[in-house]
Chains A and B, each alone.
Chain A
């Protein structure tokens, strides 16, 4: 298995709250190949961000805790690393971009200082060399007049520009993997299109792998090669994007795609709505987490939680029911 860059196995993460323990991630496994773009899709609270924060050691403990699982990056378990080691990984091996750039940056330090800092700390470059590389990087992500903007503060950039700076900061030590956690959710569509195009061109140029977390199914269609749909702390379906959009298998994925208005819709189509609410995970689910809202539910769904199984080449689904026949899968 030398062509797997990152492999997450049976990851479980909990949060202790005054109301009880919340089981946010309940045994997630996924793999990432070099140069591949993986999309992770789900609604708020499904565990998509927590999975990524867990493997990078960014879950504050307490209240959070990674209770089980492995995250192998080139054969090394990220979850067993010391603080200093994982910090090195976060800087130079796996970069991360977050949803809200304004809360991510330090407001009282200049952009030049913040973007160049990893180079001085982890690559031991001199201040001047680091700044030169920073200018190059800012230019690469499309900041106009980068040299003049080094001494500007985060609030002096517009939302789209700030997101570009954050991408520059994540990529400054040329990581192998870029994890993007809803980086365009706070942006307007035209700016979102700019950022997506930017990330695509950087991917082709730098040859990195990307994990793109989003709740926007439309966005993933043109961006990723493979995608995983999460619900209630589980991956419930995983497939190459073409298969996923052409033949979704899990009732939740079917519902999500049906609830999405499309720019090229036929006039007057009624949106499919998924009734009910996502579960609050005070207990680790023992039955299918989606059963309560599912139209295809059979008796077995309330008794056992289905695990992911292969239905087609590379297409895996966690469901007891076959959506075409509405019968139990054998």
Chain B
């Protein structure tokens, strides 16, 4: 096995049952994640982008066993995680942490900063008493907060500061991998840059690996080494962020990029936009074959048959589209 690979996800599927009626019978499944495969190398940042409902958060949560996949494999440091019992998984939970989207909902309002950041240390019996307090203060400093804040409650902080507390909590167990689930989308523009810069510095300092989930393509480009684009439960394109943004291949990626505004009126005037029509189809009954075919400008009959697989079209640049693998 490749030593460089920290996390490998293979054909992951997470379905949620839909219950109806008095007897709560299962009438269908929301196919939130429908066959996703990717790897994350040690020390890199993989960006996972897509619109709401594409399954990017579900993918991230499945890695932490927050939801149970119906099939597929997740290897972390060559150890398969999906079948593990909760007790066997515990050591891995220490090494995989998460930063959540909403800094208002992800902190317990009745716990002080010391309790929130210190709790994981206590659970894993890594620290207690006076040492615990000191260690928590150390982590606060690391994320750019004053150590004096240690006895305060979440409501005394702004959104950006709360997100820093969430980051401190994730760092407390010295994890290898951090799943960042839209960590900045609830913050103001000027504060977003503060948090992104902090995440980048921490990565360098502590040799962290990130799975960075976001919907903001410009921000993902900024922080990621490689980027995977998701649509309706599947990855449609995966490449280094340089390649992907210079030469998006999948029609969905192209449309997504052309929808992102650029802060320059001159460029905006000259841009040729591909505007997608319609909405994303429902994930409980996705289109047959390629999930994107109903909104795709290039779609032909073949697209409706079997779901296209991710193909390497140039070095390290993968895309799942019939029109491209045929040279179109």
Contacts and interface: CB of A to CB of B under 8 A. Distances in A.
A binds B: yes
Interface of A: 43-44, 158, 160-161, 188-194, 196-197, 215-219, 221-222, 241-242, 245, 255-265, 267, 269-275, 277-278
Contact of B259 (A160, A192, A242): A192
A217 B218 contact: no
Given A215-B188, A256-B189, A264 B267 contact: yes
- A-B interface, 8 closest residue pairs, ranked by CB to CB distance from nearest: A222-B268, A259-B193, A193-B259, A188-B51, A271-B193, A218-B261, A261-B222, A273-B193
A101 to B, nearest CB: 14
B221 A261 contact: yes
B216 to A, nearest CB: 8
B196 A263 contact: no
18 contacts: A43-B190, A189-B256, A190-B259, A190-B276, A215-B189, A217-B189, A217-B263, A221-B265, A222-B261, A258-B193, A259-B193, A260-B189, A260-B218, A261-B222, A262-B262, A262-B263, A263-B245, A263-B257
A278 B276 CA distance: 37
B221 A263 contact: yes
Given A219-B261, A263-B221, A190 B255 contact: yes
Contacts of A260: 189, 193, 218, 263
A274 B190 contact: yes
B166 interface: no
A242 B266 contact: yes
Nearest to A222: B268
Say which size band chain B's interface belongs to. 35 or more
Interface of B: 51-52, 158, 160, 188-194, 196-197, 215-219, 221-222, 241-242, 245, 255-269, 271, 273, 275-277, 279-280
B165 to A, nearest CB: 15
B158 A277 contact: yes
A166 to B, nearest CB: 16
B193 A218 contact: no
A190 B51 CA distance: 8
A241 B265 CA distance: 7
A277 B193 contact: no
| Interface hub of A160, A189, A258 (most chain B Cβ within 10 A) | A189
Given A188-B51, A273-B197, A259 B190 contact: yes
B120 to A, nearest CB: 28
B221 A160 contact: no
A160 B279 contact: yes
Contact of A216 (B261, B269, B273, B280): B261
Given A43-B188, A263-B218, A271-B222, A190 B256 contact: yes
A262 B218 CA distance: 5
Nearest to B242: A267
B68 to A, nearest CB: 27
Given A241-B265, A257-B263, A263-B221, A191 B256 contact: no
A245 B263 contact: yes
A196 B275 CA distance: 10
Contact of B217 (A43, A189, A194, A215): A189
Contacts of A194: 275-277
B215 A188 contact: yes
B190 A256 contact: yes
Given A245-B263, A271-B196, 16 more contacts: A160-B279, A189-B256, A190-B255, A190-B259, A190-B276, A196-B261, A197-B275, A218-B218, A221-B263, A221-B264, A241-B265, A245-B264, A258-B193, A261-B216, A263-B221, A273-B194
A221 B221 contact: no
Given A189-B217, A262-B218, A275 B194 contact: yes
B265 A222 contact: yes
Nearest to B277: A194
A307 to B, nearest CB: 23
A191 B53 CA distance: 13
A263 B190 contact: no
A177 to B, nearest CB: 22
A321 B241 CA distance: 39
Nearest to B188: A43
A111 B218 CA distance: 36
Nearest to A188: B51
Given A273-B194, A273-B197, A263 B188 contact: no
Contacts of A44: 188
Contact of A265 (B192, B222, B255, B261): B222
Nearest to A242: B265
Contact of A264 (B193, B262, B275): B262
Contacts of B194: 273-275
| Interface hub of A188, A256, A275 (most chain B Cβ within 10 A) | A188
Contacts of B241: 267
A258 B245 CA distance: 20
B262 A221 contact: yes
B189 A261 contact: no
B158 A261 contact: no
Given A259-B189, A260-B218, A263-B218, A271 B263 contact: no
A153 B119 CA distance: 46
B190 A255 contact: yes
Given A217-B189, A273-B194, A263 B279 contact: no
